[in-house]
C-alpha cells in the first residue's frame, strides 16, 4: 500500500516544531508500523536527509519505549497493543497517517517524536517499591497470598510505563500509571506496611511534576496497551484518603484499613 505520512519534526526541546509530509510506497500489510518508519528512514538517509527520530527498543510490546500518537490516538488504531506490535494491515492504501509525539507538558519533546518521560521515574523513586534491602527475606511461601489478590496485583503490575495514559488524557493526568503501582503494592501483604506513606509521596510527586488531575473520562483505560483498569484509580483514591486521615496515628489507620 502507498501512504502519506504527516510527521512532527522538532530539532530539540527549545526549537519550534512543525509537520513534514512524506510518502512511502509498496508497504506490505504484514510490515509492522515501526518497520514502515524504518523504510521511510532508509529512504530519507539515501536522499541525504536526516531520519525521523522516534523511541523504540524491544519491538515486542513490553519495554514501553515506543510512544507515537497516530491519527489522534496513542499507539494508533488497534486496541490493547503498543505501536511496535501494530501491523500495517490496520491501514489502507492511500491513507494519510498523522504521527505526533506524546502531548503533555510533563513529557517535553527531545527531538521529533522522542519525548522525555523521566517524570515517571521520579514518581517511582518517590515510593513505588517496598523498602527492603537485599538478603534476609523470609521464605517466599511463608505468607500465603490469596490467588485473587495475586492476580489483581499482576493485572496492575502489567503496566509498561509507556505514558499513553497521560498522552490520551485531556488533562495530562498520570493517575492510571501511578495508581497501577500503588494498587499492586497495596494488594500484596509485602506492600501493606508502608502503603499509606507510599501513596502520599507518589501523589505529591505526581502533582509537583506538572501532571493534571483526573476527571473520570477514562480515555487512559481505553487507550492503555496493557488494559490497565481504571479501578486502580478508585483504589488509589481510597488509599490516599485513608492515608490522609489516618497516617498520623498508625492505630487509627488500622481501623480504617
Partner 1 sequence: MSKLDSKVPKGPLADKWSHYKSHANLVNPSNKRKLDIIIVGTGLAGASAAASLGEMGFQVKVFCYQDSPRRAHSIAAQGGINASKNYQNDGDSVYRLFYDTIKGGDYRAREANVHRLAEVSGPIIDQCVAQGVPFARDYGGLLDNRSFGGAQVSRTFYARGQTGQQLLLGAYGALSRQIEKGNVKLYERHDMMDLVMIDGKARGIIARNLVTGELERFFGHAVALATGGYGNVFFLSTNAMGSNGSAVWQVYKKGAFFGNPCFTQIHPTCIPVHGDYQSKLTLMSESLRNDGRIWVPKNKEDAEKLRHGKLKAKEIKEEDRDYYLERRYPAFGNLVPRDVASRAAKERCDAGYGVGETGLAVFLDFSESIARLGRNVIEERYGNLFQMYEKIVDDNPYEMPMMIYPAVHYTMGGLWVDYELQSTIPGLFVMGEANFSDHGANRLGASALMQGLADGYFVLPYTIQNYLSNEIRTPRLKTDLPEFEKTEKEVKDRIDKLMNIKGKNSVDYFHKQLGKIMWDYVGMARNETGLKKGIELIIALREEFWKDVLVPGTTAGVNTELEKALRVADFLELGELMAMDALNRNESCGGHFREEFQTDEGEALRNDDTYKYVACWEFKGNSQHELHKEALDYEFIEVKQRNYK
**Chain residues 63-82 in contact with partner 1, contact rule CB under 8 A:** 63-65, 78, 80-81
Among 116, 197, 207, 252, which residue sits at the site for partner 1 (rule: CB under 8 A)? 116
Distance between CA 124 and CA 178 in Å, rounded?
Answer: 8
* Three cell numbers, residue 211: 501532571
Q: Select the residue interacting with partner 1 from 1, 98, 110, 246 (CB under 8 A).
A: 110
Residues 6+ apart with CB under 8 A from 209: 106, 119, 122, 123, 174
Cα gap 62→160, rounded to integer Å: 6
Question: What's the closest the beta carbon of residue 213 comes to partner 1, in angstroms?
Answer: 24
| Number of residues near partner 1 (by CB under 8 A) | 78
Sole residue written with cell 505529591: 204
Confirm if 6 and 94 have CB atoms less than 8 A apart.
no
Kindly state the smallest distance separating residue 38's Cβ from partner 1, in Å.
6
User: Quick one: 98 or 145, whose CB is closer to partner 1?
Assistant: 145
Residue 124 binds partner 1 (CB under 8 A):
yes
> Which residue in 23, 72, 92, 190 binds partner 1 (CB under 8 A)?
190
Q: Tell me if 14 contacts partner 1 by CB under 8 A.
A: no
Q: Of 24-32, 69-77, 214-222, 240-248, which segment contacts partner 1 by CB under 8 A? A: 24-32
CA distance 79 to 15: 33
- Pick the binder of partner 1 from 4, 72, 77, 89 (CB under 8 A): 89
Query: In this chain, which of 19, 58, 77, 245 binds partner 1, going by CB under 8 A?
Result: 58
When asked if residue 28 is in the footprint of partner 1 (CB under 8 A), the reply is yes
Q: Interior CA angle at 64 toward 233 and 129, to 5°?
A: 55
The three-class DSSP label of residue 99 is strand
Report yes or no: 32 and 85 within 8 Å, Cβ to Cβ: yes
Binding mask 142-161 for partner 1 (x = CB under 8 A): --xxxx--xx-xx--xx-xx
- Determine if 20 is a binding residue for partner 1 (CB under 8 A): no
Minimum Å gap between C-beta 172 and partner 1 is 18
**Cα–Cα distance for residue pair 151/130, rounded to 1 Å:** 19
- For residue 247, what is the DSSP state? T
Check if the beta carbon of residue 239 is closer than 8 Å to that of residue 200: no
Name which position in 5, 34, 176, 236 contacts partner 1 (CB under 8 A): 34
> Which 196-255 residues touch partner 1, going by CB under 8 A?
none
Please state, in angstroms and rounded to a whole number, the distance separating the CA atoms of residues 46 and 49. 7
Indicate whether 131 belongs to the interface with partner 1 (CB under 8 A). yes
Amino acid at each position: 500500500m502507498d501512504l502519506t505520512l504527516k510527521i512532527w519534526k522538532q530539532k530539540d526541546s527549545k526549537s519550534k516544531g512543525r509537520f513534514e509530509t512524506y510518502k512511502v510506497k509498496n508497504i506490505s500489510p504484514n510490515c509492522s508500523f515501526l518497520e514502515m518508519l524504518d523504510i521511510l528512514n532508509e529512504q530519507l538517509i539515501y536522499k541525504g536527509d536526516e531520519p525521523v527520530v522516534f523511541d523504540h527498543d524491544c519491538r515486542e510490546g513490553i519495554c514501553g519505549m515506543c510512544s507515537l500518537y497516530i491519527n489522534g490516538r496513542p499507539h494508533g488504531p488497534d486496541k490493547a497493543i503498543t505501536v511496535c506490535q501494530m501491523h500495517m494491515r490496520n491501514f489502507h492504501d492511500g491513507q494519510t497517517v498523522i504521527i505526533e509525539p506524546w502531548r503533555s507538558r510533563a513529557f517535553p519533546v527531545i527531538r521529533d517524536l522522542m519525548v522525555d518521560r523521566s517524570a515517571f521515574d521520579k514518581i517511582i523513586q518517590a515510593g513505588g517499591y517496598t523498602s527492603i534491602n537485599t538478603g534476609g527475606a523470609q521464605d517466599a511461601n511463608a505468607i500465603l497470598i490469596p490467588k485473587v489478590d495475586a492476580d489483581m496485583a499482576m493485572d496492575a503490575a502489567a503496566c509498561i510505563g509507556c505514558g499513553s495514559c497521560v498522552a490520551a488524557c485531556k488533562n495530562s493526568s498520570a493517575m492510571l500509571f501511578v495508581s497501577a503501582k500503588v494498587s499492586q503494592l497495596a494488594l500484596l501483604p509485602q506492600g501493606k506496611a508502608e502503603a499509606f506513606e507510599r501513596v502520599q509521596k507518589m501523589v505529591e510527586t505526581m502533582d509537583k511534576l506538572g501532571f493534571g488531575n483526573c476527571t473520570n473520562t477514562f480515555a487512559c483505560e481505553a487507550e492503555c496497551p496493557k488494559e490497565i483498569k481504571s479501578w486502580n484509580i478508585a483504589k488509589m483514591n481510597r488509599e490516599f484518603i485513608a492515608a490522609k486521615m489516618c497516617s498520623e496515628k498508625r492505630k487509627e489507620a488500622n481501623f480504617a484499613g
